[in-house]
Each structure stands twice: as C-alpha cells, then as structure tokens.
Structure 1
Amino acid sequence: MVRPRMFDEEQAVDAAMRVFWTSGYEATSTQDLCVATGLGRSSIYNTFTSKRALFDLALLRYMEQTSSVQLELIQRADLPIRERVRRILWNAVEPNPGDPPGCLAVNTAVELGPTDPELVELLDRDHAPKLAALAEEIRSAQAAGDVDAGRDPAALANYVYVVLGGLRVAARRGAQRGTQESVIEAALQAF
C-alpha cells in the first residue's frame, strides 16, 4: 500500500524555486533542497524524480508568477506607457521584500542557456507574450501621440527587457541603488 504524502507539493516547489533563484541550478545540492523543503532525499526523488525535474517545475512556477504580474502591468491603460515601463524596470531595483536579488529566468538563461537549447526555447515562449503586449501598448501610445511615431515598437519593447535583464544582473551583483536609478532614467528617455 502506498503511503499518502504528508507534505504540500506546491510549497515544496515554491521553496525549491527560492533556492534555485538564490544559488543557481548547478550550485544547488540535493541537501540544499532537503533543507529548504523540509523533505528527505527519498521524498524529493519519489515525488519529483530528479533535481532537474524539480528545477523545471520551480522555473515554470516562477515564470507563471512573474509573467502574469508583468502582463497585468503592461496592460494597465490607466497609466501612461512611460509609467508602466518605469514600474517594470523599477521591480529590478526594488523587488518584493524577501525575494532573492536578480531574476530566476535571467539567471537560468545565463547559467544554462548556452548548453540547453530546450530551456532557452521555454524561456523564449514565456518572454514572447510580454514583448508582444508591450509592443502593442507602445503602438497605442504612439497613436495617442505619447511616444514618437517614428520609433519601432518591437525594438522599444526589446530594449525595455534588455535593460530589465541588465538591471537584474546588476542587482544580483549588488549594484548601488543610485546607479540603477540612473539607468532607469536614461532608459525612460526613449519614451
């Protein structure tokens, strides 16, 4: 007879997500995952089959959480486009309290992207709707006269996310707040 699980899988994935976010995939040991989740090694492997399978679930959870928040912000028509972009970028400077610095998706792209094209494809699929939505909102702002109509909306959307990625990498290495604020102000000049 199979014993019923005595733990919440969702909480375990959330805990693992934070460990991977803080330490990266390679530097996270099974023991780190055991400590973070409160599970034994056998429970982790019986439930999630492998460190990589647990990582994949954690990354998916992270992308679901962050993408929905970003898409909601991008589509806030009650805010001018410049303010929406500022808020997207500001999240790298002032993340939710208790969140590790940086971004699990960016960290993953840097750490595993060069050797894992399937993972890059997953990250790209997550990223594409945000880019498309931001480009569409920029087009709307251009139609309203709020953004120079001569600008390429797709290029501006990509620019915002490249700056965001850079800010998140800088946050991970401990960049000064003032430096990051000046980068945001420079980026907003495009709008």
Structure 2
Amino acid sequence: MSVTRGRPRGFDLDEALDRAIDVFWRQGYEGTSLSDLTSAMGINRPSLYAAFGNKEETFKLAVDRYAQIDMAYAAKALSAPTAYEVARQYLRDNVDAVTTPGKPPGCLSIQGGLSSAPQDDPIVEYLAGRRADGEKQFARRFEQAIADGDLPATEDPADLARYISTVSTGIAVQAASGATRADLQRVVDRALRVFVDHPE
C-alpha cells in the first residue's frame, strides 16, 4: 500500500495493517474498537488516523490487503484451463486458506460483517459488493467456458458462479465454527459433482 500523508512514521504500514487484519478477523468489524486496533497495531490514535483514516477506512484497507495476500488463490483459479479446474482449484484452496494453522479460522471478508449494528450497514454493503464483484469474475469465466464448449450451452454462468460463491461462503462459516480441513474437503468433493461431465 502507498500512503503519503503527514510526516515520516516510525512504524511499518503493512505490518501494522496485518495486525489490524488479525483483530478484525477474530473479532469482526462491530466487535473491534479503536482501542483494540491501536493496541494490536502498536500505535496511538493520531497515528492511526494519519496513516489509515478512521475505523471504516482501516477496515477497507485491511480487506484489500487480505484479498491481495490471503485470497490470491482466487485470481489463480480463474486462469485454470477448464471450468471444472477453476472450481476445483478455487474451492480446494479456499478450504486450505480458511483452515490455515496460526491464523483465525474462516474468512475476514465473511467474519467481518456477519454480526453488525445498523450503523455498520455501509460495511455490510461494502463486503457484499466485493463478493458480488467476485461472482461476476467467475460468471465471466464460465461464460468463456460455454463459448469454448467446455460447459454445455444450457448452463447459466451467473447461477454457477453464485453456486461456487455460496459453497465458498458456507465453507468459511463452517471453518469458523470448528469444521476440520478434512471435513471441508469432503464438502468440496460433493460440490464438484455439479460438474458431471468433468469427474475428478
């Protein structure tokens, strides 16, 4: 990230943001206070405001960084050669990501907005918008698969993308509730059966 406000700082921006990610991931947006953030990030409030903005802006920056690093597998999956491989790679890697030892279980972009107060509606809408953008990317990839003859012409790319997104969201929620990696990989096995012409 590049932030150029104010005088030079005595802390690493990315490292501080990584700590913010951990707090938001574990506690959700609503459950995280500014004191929680400054304590975890090792900075005071003026430094947080100068470097990242308010709590909402800090959360959005955290989600952006999380998407670039912890969810980089999504972009990689979209470049897979077949629709089946797109889904397989994405869901398999999704399971690995939400069950990574040493990190909170689940997904920041899901956990962050599961429980929210009415005043946090902009954050809920922001996260929903990001998920919708992700679905659109998968829908476009599945449209291409239909054009390539890789999927039947009767397939609905938007419905298939929503299906993959719904499975992924469910995996994250189940992981946060204590489901094991093996449990969730079996869910993926079931989910991939929708690609009946592409057995694993």
TM-score band by shorter chain is 0.7 to 0.9
* Rounded Cα–Cα distance in structure 2 between residues aligned with 1:128 and 1:36: 31
Task: Provide the secondary structure at the position in 2 that maps to 1:167.
Answer: helix
**Alignment match, 2:198:** none
Matched, 1:147 2:120: no
Select between 129-138 and 45-54 the one with higher mean Cα deviation.
45-54
Question: What is the TM-score when the length of structure 1 is the normalising length?
Answer: 0.80
Pairwise CA distance, 1:49: 4.7
Do structure 1's residue 118 and structure 2's residue 122 form an aligned pair?
Answer: yes
Deviations 1:29-83 (A, max 9, x none): 4443234212234433454453333223222332344565412321233xx3212
CA deviations on 1:153-178 (whole Å, 9 max, x unpaired) are 11000000000000001001111333
Distance 1:10 1:115, change over 3 A: same
Q: Tell me, in whole angstroms, the C-alpha distance in 1 between the residues paired with 2:170 and 2:121.
A: 21
Greater alpha carbon shift after TM alignment, 20-29 vs 47-56? 47-56
Cα displacement (A) at 1:90: 1.7
Aligned pair count?
A: 188
TM normalised by structure 2 equals 0.77
Structure 1 unmatched ranges of 5 or more: none
Task: Note if contact 2:77-2:85 (Cα within 8 Å) is conserved in structure 1.
Answer: no
Q: CA deviation at 1:151?
A: 1.9
- The verdict on how the C-alpha distance between 1:28 and 1:149 changes in structure 2, with shifts beyond 3 A counting, is same
1:17 to partner: Cα distance:
1.1
Pairing of 1:38-187 with structure 2 (within 5 A):
38-65=42-69, 69-77=73-81, 80-95=82-97, 96-112=100-116, 116-187=120-191
Unaligned runs of 5+ in 2: 1-5, 196-200
- Structure 1 stretch 112-121 or stretch 16-25: which is displaced more? 112-121
Q: 1:115 to 1:65 in 2, by over 3 A?
A: farther
Root-mean-square deviation over aligned CA pairs: 2.7
Return the offset for 1:115: 5.3
Q: Are the aligned partners of 1:92 and 1:171 in contact in 2 as well (CA < 8 Å)?
A: no
Percent identity, aligned pairs only, is 37
Do 1:102 and 1:169's aligned partners in 2 also have CA atoms closer than 8 Å? yes
Cα distance 1:186–1:46, how it changes in 2: closer, same or farther (>3 A)? same
